[in-house]
Amino acid sequence: MITTQSTVQNTASKRRESVPKNVYEHLVLKLPEAPATFSPKVIDTPPLWKATLGRIVPASLRRYLPEVDVKVTLICLVWYVTSSVSSNLSKAILREFPHPVGLTELQFLTNGLMCLGFLILVNYLHRPSWKATWVSQNMRNFPDGILPPYLNGSFRECIQQRFLVVDRRAVIATLPMGMFQFMGHFTSYKATSLIPVSLVHSVKSLSPIMTLCWYRFAKKKQFHRVTYYTVVPLVAGVILTSSSSGSSKSMGARSQELRLVLGLFFAAVSMAIFVSQNLFAKSILTVKKRELLPSQKSVSEHGGLSQLQLDKITILFYCSCIGFSFMLPVFLVGELFAASSVFADISLHVLCLMGVYVFTHFLQAMLAFQLIGMLSSVNYSIASIMKRVVVIGVALTWESQLSGRQLLGLVMTVIGLYGYDKWGNKTQPYPS
């Protein structure tokens, strides 16, 4: 078969015409643009502990179990442990170092220094190089009103020129609270040196009664009958705890009975002072979005930050400085230059206990601030009740005095605290 040149050219031209013309155009080869709101699909995998629980617990029973937040649970556990350790360490320290004024002065000093150190750390984490880190995000994850709003990472501007500069108006505002701190901590340590820690905290659990009496007689507020009913198991629990302690062998002698009465008196005075402090704080401490102390439900009624923008860390710092200043003359005259000087009773073991005590005391305050931002008011109040229960239970076990009467008193105290928190704030709509 003979193929001419014209035939070959015709065939080639037909093939070229059969090929789509847009193959070589740049629009075909161009990749499609991503949509403006592109979001990759993320597969939500449950945590390991949930997967393990799903394999162990049957599905029919698993639906009745409450939802558990592991992070909040761990923080609560650490909060309970640090509170129990700090409460019982104060008794151990005062047993070897019988100077409640010196221990109070040490706590004021270390609280002020730790507030300053913590604020320096948080301010440093506000720098752009640290802002995106996990440590910075967790350290700055506090609710409104806890940290100063002016932190920006500059040590000179925020710490030297703002925080450490004494504000006359802030001193005047926090002066009464500093005096409350001064008297409250001294009477609390004095009570702890005389009676068991569990009894001190049992007496402090009567604070709802003091608050109720204040609003009933001073503010003329009317309450439902159920409010007064919740006080009955609270008082009964403290009476059982006190009678159990008073009937123990360690409290058998007359001098020991006198120590018990004095200890109960100082514990009651300490409780009354701290209740008065909380009532006074409600008039000057307000926050933007949520209350500083959820158990104080009327704080949010005032609305907005105070004119001085006083945050909790600044208030702690000023109160520690004021309390330290008020306590210093008493410490110098009564203990430092007295016949039984503090230097004669101090030792390496006592110094170690003091170091652990001041650290755990400050840590529990920071954990409380963190929980305030993570929990609702009701949940935080229940967590606070559980903390006091754990502290009393650990103290009873620590003191080896957990008798049947003590256990019954503890249970009734729990019932009274929970009942007051649940139903005790209901006011009477009509005059009783």
One-character DSSP codes across 336-400: ISSSS-HHHH--HHHHHHHHHHHHHHHHHHHHHHHHHHHS-HHHHHHHHHHHHHHHHHHHHHHTT
Q: Across the chain, which distance is largest between two alpha carbons, in Å?
A: 138
**More confident of the two residues 432 and 106:** 106
User: Are 405 and 95 contacting, i.e. CB atoms less than 8 angstroms apart?
Assistant: no
Q: Give the H/E segment covering residue 198.
A: helix 197-204
Comparing CA positions, the residue from 377, 182, 358 lying closest to residue 274 is 182
Comparing CA positions, the residue from 32, 92, 48 lying closest to residue 354 is 92
d(CA 130, CA 139): 11
Q: State the pLDDT at residue 67.
A: 63
Q: State the pLDDT at residue 403.
A: 75
Name beta bridge partners: 223.
Answer: 427
Please tell me the pTM assigned to this model: 0.69
**More confident of the two residues 311 and 401:** 311
Supply the Cα-derived Rg of the chain in whole angstroms: 32
Q: What percent of the chain has pLDDT over 70?
A: 69
d(CA 208, CA 210): 5
364's tokens: 């529990």
Residue in the block written with tokens 């967590």: 383
Q: State the pLDDT at residue 303.
A: 40
Which of 18-32, 110-124, 303-317 is predicted with the least confidence, judged by mean pLDDT? 18-32
d(CA 382, CA 118): 28
Q: Give the H/E segment covering residue 128.
A: helix 128-131
Name beta bridge partners: 427.
Answer: 223
User: Are 230 and 423 contacting, i.e. CB atoms less than 8 angstroms apart?
Assistant: yes
Q: Is the pLDDT of residue 290 over 80?
A: no
Comparing CA positions, the residue from 251, 241, 168 lying closest to residue 204 is 241
Average per-residue pLDDT in the chain?
75
CA-CA distances (angstroms) from residue 30 to 27, 36, 383?
5, 18, 60
Q: Give the H/E segment covering residue 131.
A: helix 128-131
